[in-house]
Amino acid sequence: MADRTNQRILLASRPDGEPQARNFEVRTASVPEPGDGQLLLQILYLSLDPYMRGRMSAAKSYAAPVGIGEVMEGGTVARVIASRHPDYTEGDIVLSHSGWQSFALSDGVGLRKLDPKAAPITTALGVLGMPGFTAYAGLLNIGRPQIGETVVVAAASGAVGSAVGQIARIKGARAVGIAGGPEKCAFVRDELGFDAAIDHRAPDFAEQLAAACPNGIDVYFENVGGAVWDAVFPLLNPFARVPVCGLIAHYNDRPGAAGPRDRLPTLMRDVLSKSLTIRGFIQREFADQRPDFYRQAAQWIADGRLRYREDVVDGLENAPSAFIDLLRGRNFGKLIVRISADQ
């Protein structure tokens, strides 16, 4: 591997508010050689996801933060280019968690082999990967949509939200998506088949949402928070269920930032009087359901009932700017960085 270098993107400093280019550092290193029981991966694609903003912070969370000077973490699709592991051979394509770098060593733990003939390998980072499973697990275990109910999902054109609405439709519910801008709303409505799509940037957003939900909201899949939550909350029906997957509107809030405390009693009063279920979740809580998800989602894709869109950026060096744009809502579909053209 003497003729190759490993490009790596490290966390240089912790952001104060919105991440900046200076919070990242690009470094190169020699490509490591695998030892006994190891394999060397060449990273083909890197997934960029909103949760990574939390890993840049030292605040207490459900997972440890990335350390200063460490490689930014993230899901990847990779090719095995050298193996001293009995279960893997050169040329295998695997799903890994190798982070923001072009090569990585692995001991095989946590890898999943992919079949390029079964589905495009990028789908393992999106509709057939963590985002798709997040939608599936949160909606079906917490949201529990029933035939004829109204399901509303924020960030509906994104990797998670797009799957939520389509799965809700498959289960017989109405799907109302919330997205940013006419183009994304048209995609959600016309290509994904949602019953309605509302632009949260519209000046009369709350009124449009209420008109699209004449019978109220039975399930709200929360990805955003902020003004979207403010418009949704009054429409929640008694016994509504709210899976809380993300709060991207608040990911860049500075430490200690909080909304008006006088809103909390109103929130809790309605949670009580309407018998609401509001539950945060991490997809790994439902890991035992992954085989069912892979089987069902693959069939739904084959049937044309589960569609997806990928937003591919070329070059690992462009990952920081693409990630910053993701937090600003500028991506369209599942955001992926193509690291290697050697496929």
- What are the tens digits of pLDDT across the range 25-56? 999 999 999 999 999 999 999 999 989 998 99
Integer Cα distance of 343 and 313 in angstroms: 16
Helix, strand or coil for residue 172? coil
Task: Please report where in the chains the tokens 């050697």 appear, as a residue.
Answer: 342
Q: Given this model, what pLDDT does residue 60 score? A: 79
Which residue ranges in the chain fall short of pLDDT 50? Answer: 1-2
Domain boundaries, given as residue ranges, for the chain? 5-126+309-338, 130-303
Q: Is 326 exposed, middle or buried (0-12, 13-18, 19+ CB in 10 A)?
A: buried
Residue 148 region by backbone torsions, left for phi larger than 0, else alpha for psi between -120 and 50, else beta = left
Instruction: Report pLDDT for 257.
Output: 55
Q: Which two tokens stand for residue 335?
A: 């955001």
- Residue that has been written with the tokens 């190798």 in this structure: 98
Q: Looking at this protein, which amino acid is placed at residue 143?
A: G
Q: How far apart are CA 169 and CA 222, in angstroms?
A: 17
Number of H helices, E strands in the chain: 9, 15
Q: Rounded CA gap, 219 and 277, in Å?
A: 10
Euclidean distance between CA atoms 37 and 191, whole angstroms: 46
Q: Give CA separation, 281 vs 104, 230, 341, in Å.
A: 30, 21, 36
pLDDT at 246: 81
Q: Determine the pLDDT at residue 3.
A: 59
Residue 196's pLDDT is 98
| Distance (Å, whole) CA 137 – CA 275 | 22
Residue closest to 255 by CA, chosen among 57, 61, 68: 57
**Overall size of the chain counted in residues:** 343
* Residue 336: strand pairing partners: 47, 312
236-293 pLDDT per residue, tens: 999 999 999 987 766 666 655 555 556 777 788 888 889 999 999 999 999 999 999 9
Structure tokens at 301: 């894709």
Q: 316 φ, ψ to 5°?
A: -60, -35
The structure tokens listed for 310 are: 């990928």
Integer Cα distance of 12 and 25 in angstroms:
6
The CATH classification of domain 130-303, taken from the options 3.90.1150.10, 3.40.50.720, 3.40.630.40, 1.10.287.1080: 3.40.50.720
Q: Which amino acid is at 65?
A: P
- CATH class of residue range 5-126+309-338: alpha beta
> What would you report as the CA-atom Rg of the chain, rounded to the nearest whole angstrom?
21
Task: Please report the pLDDT score of residue 91 as a whole number.
Answer: 96
**What's the rounded Cα separation, in Å, for the pair 209 and 247?**
19
230's CB contacts (< 8 A; 6+ apart) are: 206
Helical ranges in 197-304 per DSSP H: 205-212, 226-232, 264-273, 290-303
Residue among 35, 36, 25, 26 at smallest CA distance from 5: 26
Terminal-residue alpha carbon distance, the chain: 17
pLDDT of residue 260: 54
